[in-house]
Amino acid sequence: MVTPLGVAVPMLYTIPLFLTWARPGERSSALMGGSAIFLTLVGVAFSPGEVSEVVIVERAMAATLQLVVTSLLIVQKRSTRKVKAAQQAMHESEERLRLFIEHAPVALAMFDRDMHYLSVSRRWITDYGLSDRVVIGQSHYDIFPEIPERWRAVHQRGLGGEIVREEEDRFKRPDASERWLCWEVRPWKTADGRVGGIVIFTEDITERKMVEQELRNHQAQLEDLTAKLLTSQEEERKRIARDLHDDFTQQLAALTIDLQRQARLASESGTPTASHLVQMGKKTEQLTTDLQRMAHRLHSSLLEHVGLEAAFRECVDECSTRAGLTTELVMRELPRGISLEQATCLYRVLQESLQNVTKHAKAANILVRLQPTRNGLELCIQDDGLGFDQSENAAHSNGLGLTSMAERIKGLQGTFRIESTLGFGTEIHAWIPISEVEPDR
Ligand SMILES: Nc1ncnc2c1ncn2[C@@H]1O[C@H](COP(=O)(O)OP(=O)(O)O)[C@@H](O)[C@H]1O
Ligand SMILES: [Mg+2]
């Protein structure tokens, strides 16, 4: 018979075995377990009395039990170690995430489903004037009780799994200063795929907005200045044209009449200078015509007196005789209510375009079309000349012609477009709105 005491005595070795529980690692338990089994088995030789079968069975049972205990201890310690390592890894990854968020160069905050802060970036703290120790674990709505309803609604949409983004939004800080923000609300998900909360990211774009606004102001100022320059240029042309017409051409006309009378008198009295005087009279007459033309070009009184159609016809004809080009002018019935300002604008575009064709294009034909559209008037000047590269031209040209045409049209809320292909000619399209209700000029 096996006595319980015979088994229990060697089992006393399990006491130091259990004590190894407190030591880290499986090695101490394995060593202690091995030693206990060894001593239990070898101890048979030193036990008093005869080595009976009973004693051997008792020792074998005790050694088996010790083996079981040792194995259990080792398995337990191993799994504890694994759990600890996993916890450590998780802790490290959480810490990395926290550091990542904290040092992110944008304002970033992570919330749980109840909008309690889980993590924030430093930028968030500084941008919203908070203290990080106070923030974590607190409710966003407790910190900002005055948060507008529309933002609460956006948070709810985020918690519903939606990504919401706004490129420009105004935000009032607690110190009442106003900032411009670009923001995004994104849901974050737990390992099982449920929405665990949201992440809000905001970028302060106030500086950018200010720069943009400043640029817009400068642009407006520049446009204003250009418009003023064009107007004063028009005024100046008008003045010079008036002077030329009222003063010089009148004087020249008087001189012509004088010369013609002298020539007549001289030829009657048979003076040899008669033919010379006739020549002088003709030259002066030509000079008068040229000056009148110049005055017209500077300020086409034709526009005021005979209207846009006649002025256009004269301008195109003049270009054709001057440059020896084949010109075609197509005009459909023009709408009523074209103001003098609008007529002058279109006339200047025509003048500059024709000048450009004769100066740069080396064209043989020009087609000018002036036709009404549904709510405006369109002018198109087309040539079959060399054409030009507009991008290159924009970078290198010192000319003002194209720019001033575009500005004039823009000043009348119209549209201006150039289509040019190297080797295939150029088309200028200008359109201005005309309201039919305006009284006839
Ligand atoms: N019809 C055209 N055909 C060919 N090139 C043109 C034409 N119109 C304009 N250009 C090109 O565009 C440039 C700018 O024109 P513009 O602004 O009127 O200045 P400018 O006539 O004083 O040179 C010209 O120098 C020329 O190279
Ligand atoms: Mg030009």
Protein residues placing their CB within 5 Å of the ion ligand 2 = 356, 399, 401
Cβ–ligand 1 distance for 361 under 6 Å, the answer yes
Q: No. of H helices and E strands in the chain? A: 16, 10
Contact 93, 44 (CB under 8 A): no
Interatomic CA distance for residues 314 and 281, integer angstroms: 26
User: What atom of ligand 1 comes closest to residue 385's alpha carbon?
Assistant: 3
- Name the stretches of the chain with pLDDT < 50: 437-441
pLDDT of residue 300: 65
The sheet with strand 195-204 has its strands ordered as 117-120, 107-112, 195-204, 178-189, 164-172
Interatomic CA distance for residues 303 and 398, integer angstroms: 30
Residue from 397, 409, 421 to probe ligand 1 pocket by mutation (most atoms less than 8 Å from CB): 397
Among the listed residues 29, 7, 8, 5, the one whose alpha carbon sits nearest the alpha carbon of residue 17: 29
123 is written with which tokens?
């930028």
pLDDT of residue 40: 85
Expressed in angstroms and rounded, the spacing between residue 349 Cα and the centre of ligand 2 is 10
pLDDT of residue 395: 63
Cβ–ligand 1 distance for 383 under 6 Å, the answer yes
Which contiguous run of DSSP H or E holds residue 104?
A: none
Interatomic CA distance for residues 238 and 301, integer angstroms: 9
Contact 430, 349 (CB under 8 A): yes
pTM score > 0.85 for this model? no
Contact 7, 66 (CB under 8 A): no
User: What atom of ligand 1 comes closest to residue 426's alpha carbon?
Assistant: 1
The sheet with strand 425-433 has its strands ordered as 326-331, 365-373, 376-383, 425-433, 415-421
* pLDDT tens profile 340-378: 889 999 999 999 999 999 999 999 999 999 999 988 999
* pLDDT tens profile 6-53: 778 777 888 888 888 888 888 888 998 898 889 888 877 777 767 778
Residue for token pair 């028009």:
234
Cβ–ligand 1 distance for 388 under 6 Å, the answer yes
pLDDT of residue 438: 44
Contact 284, 255 (CB under 8 A): yes
